[in-house]
Amino acid sequence: MTIIPKLRSLKMFEPWTWVASLGFFAFLKTLIPREYADYLLRGFRLWLQSFTPYIFCDVNEFDASTVNTLFRDVEVYLSSITAEAALRLSLTKPKNAKATTFTMGTDQRTADVFNNVKVEWIYNVIPRNRPMYTHSYQSYQSDERRSFTLQIGRKDKDRILGKYLAHIQARAKELKREARDLLLYTNGKGRDSYYSHNRPWESVNFVHPASFDTLALDGDLKQRICDDLDRFVANEAYYQRVGKAWKRGYLLYGPPGTGKSSMIAAIANKMRYDVYDLELTEVDSNIELRKLLLHTNNRSVIVIEDIDCSLDLSGQRKRKKKRVHPEPAAAGVPFKPSRDDRKVTLSGLLNFVDGLWSCCGTERIFIFTTNYVEKLDPALLRAGRMDMHIHLSYCTFSAFVMLARNYLQLDDHHLFAQLRTAFEGTFMTPAEVGEIMIKNLDSPTAALEQVLAALDEHRVKPPPLPRTPTTSRRTRSPRTLRTRASLPMASPNLPRLRRRTRTRNQQQQQK
């Protein structure tokens, strides 16, 4: 950013002053050589500047050939305030964006007030003689030079300029976060497709209605999680100071249908983070796992659902088998790892979560879910590995009240007193309660009566589900974050590729 006092500030002078001075210098140029006239003009301008009560700060779009991030921040910030202030606006609606964006029209001015100080912004567009290319962004710069000019009082500059710019950057960050469309990424066999071009993740737009308002949780759990997330996002400097990577880990555990996937969606929606839904059974090795991690963006939630089913966690780290490598020369064939050697191990997963490579991005949340926390390896549960262990359990009366408010718009009902006692010692999940309510949307009383009847049948704890280690959760759990229908079309070559892979695997097994 450059601070250049401008002649434009001379509006305190009357127009005749301008006419007279321009006329005078035009006349001067006819009398004396041009270089001397320019020199005099520059001196005159400097002299005039000492009278201006303002200074002007230019924020150019490009600094040499790199993009000036402050320009983008100012642009975003001003779009939130210019709607009322400016006389002429450019309106844009980027593809898939939720709202229209306002930008100032060329040479428009808009005022802003910060700490009771009034400042003005001017948007300048100057045609460029020839187009140019940037090096860093490898993008084409437009053939016009765009900049914002901040007009601020001389006396206010030292007092507020720094704080004002920090305020703009913080607000722009917030606005950008709110305006972003979220993406849901998935790894999977789709990566074999020739469409993927070495991109390990495929993405679709993530539109999930779950939020912390709609989640029915017991006691102050909701508040504790929200506070934890707010603390996490606000404390980048703290993480830096204590030498910790800026990431957070949550382990969500509890029976099926208690809201684990819904909570992941609520977290992503609250934080405006993309979701990486990692299907561990589709990852062939620790190295591939690391590559997947390297291809994730900052500000994202990295999820491994049903971790107990995705990986045999019964101490693989301890039972490291001694591998016998055949002598390449003696065998005459290059060494090929066996299927077992290629699988992801617990230690690979632990490195993924908090090893050196996990720090290759910032502002990330790792979430693991499981129905069987007791079956997880202690290494995964040790203090500091996952920052919060969140138990989502069967529906209680207080969670039921939230569900009744959400699903039936009921704040109170004469059956509530009976339901309060009926919920004690029962094992009904929020999903089951919600299901009954959806079926009886038009008749809240019928819904509550059916919940009462169902509670009687749920006095005995349901037997645990049969556990199938290293089975894909897609085959096990019908409720996953991902909707298969929403995935992009697979490559037409996919069935052929799958057949080829299957045959190769069978051949290896026979060997």
Ligand X SMILES: Nc1ncnc2c1ncn2[C@@H]1O[C@H](COP(=O)(O)OP(=O)(O)OP(=O)(O)O)[C@@H](O)[C@H]1O
Cβ proximity to ligand X, 196 vs 398, nearer residue: 398
| Distance in angstroms (rounded) separating the CA atoms of residues 62 and 173 | 19
The residue with tokens 């980027």 is 94
The CB-of-137 to ligand X minimum distance in angstroms stands at 40
- Identify residues 476-495 at the interface with Mg ion (CB under 5 A): 479
Residue from 52, 110, 186, 261 touching Mg ion (CB under 5 A): that is: 261
The CB-of-479 to Mg ion minimum distance in angstroms stands at 5
Cβ proximity to ligand X, 254 vs 361, nearer residue: 254
79, interface contact from Mg ion, ligand X, none, CB < 5-8 Å by kind: none
With CB atoms as reference, the residue minimizing the distance to ligand X is 259
Quick check: helix, strand or coil at residue 251? strand
| Distance in angstroms (rounded) separating the CA atoms of residues 144 and 432 | 60
**Ordered DSSP codes for 163-181:** HHHHHHHHHHHHHHHHHPP
Cβ proximity to ligand X, 19 vs 465, nearer residue: 465
- Identify residues 419-458 at the interface with Mg ion (CB under 5 A): none
296, interface contact from Mg ion, ligand X, none, CB < 5-8 Å by kind: none
Size of the site for Mg ion (CB under 5 A): 3
The CB-of-300 to ligand X minimum distance in angstroms stands at 19
The residue with tokens 């026979």 is 510
Cα–Cα nearest to 289, from 301, 271, 276, 273: 276
Say how many Å lie between the first and final Cα of the chain, rounded: 67
Q: Find out whether 120 and 113 touch, Cβ atoms under 8 Å.
A: no
Cα–Cα nearest to 368, from 356, 360, 359, 377: 377
> Which strands form 300-304's sheet, in the order they lie side by side?
202-205, 183-186, 274-277, 300-304, 364-370, 247-253, 388-391
The CB-of-230 to ligand X minimum distance in angstroms stands at 20
Quick check: helix, strand or coil at residue 320? coil
The CB-of-471 to ligand X minimum distance in angstroms stands at 14
With CB atoms as reference, the residue minimizing the distance to Mg ion is 261
3-class secondary structure for 396-450?
Answer: CHHHHHHHHHHHHCCCCCCCHHHHHHHCCCCCCCHHHHHHHHHHCCCCHHHHHHH
The CB-of-476 to ligand X minimum distance in angstroms stands at 9
Q: Find out whether 74 and 149 touch, Cβ atoms under 8 Å.
A: no
- The residues that touch ligand X, with contacts defined as CB under 6 A, are 214-217, 256-262, 371, 430-431, 434, 477, 479
The CB-of-260 to ligand X minimum distance in angstroms stands at 4
Cβ proximity to ligand X, 48 vs 226, nearer residue: 226
5, interface contact from ligand X, Mg ion, none, CB < 5-8 Å by kind: none
From residue 150 to residue 189, the character string flagging contacts with Mg ion as x (rule: CB under 5 A) and all else as - is ----------------------------------------
Dihedral of alpha carbons 175, 177, 178, 183, sign: positive
The CB-of-437 to Mg ion minimum distance in angstroms stands at 20
Cβ proximity to ligand X, 191 vs 473, nearer residue: 473
Q: Find out whether 49 and 154 touch, Cβ atoms under 8 Å.
A: no
The CB-of-286 to ligand X minimum distance in angstroms stands at 26
Cβ proximity to ligand X, 450 vs 491, nearer residue: 450
49, interface contact from ligand X, Mg ion, none, CB < 5-8 Å by kind: none
Cβ proximity to Mg ion, 222 vs 260, nearer residue: 260
Cβ proximity to Mg ion, 260 vs 343, nearer residue: 260
Q: Find out whether 306 and 371 touch, Cβ atoms under 8 Å.
A: yes
Cβ proximity to Mg ion, 323 vs 479, nearer residue: 479
| Distance in angstroms (rounded) separating the CA atoms of residues 483 and 209 | 13
Residue ranges binding Mg ion (CB under 5 A): 260-261, 479
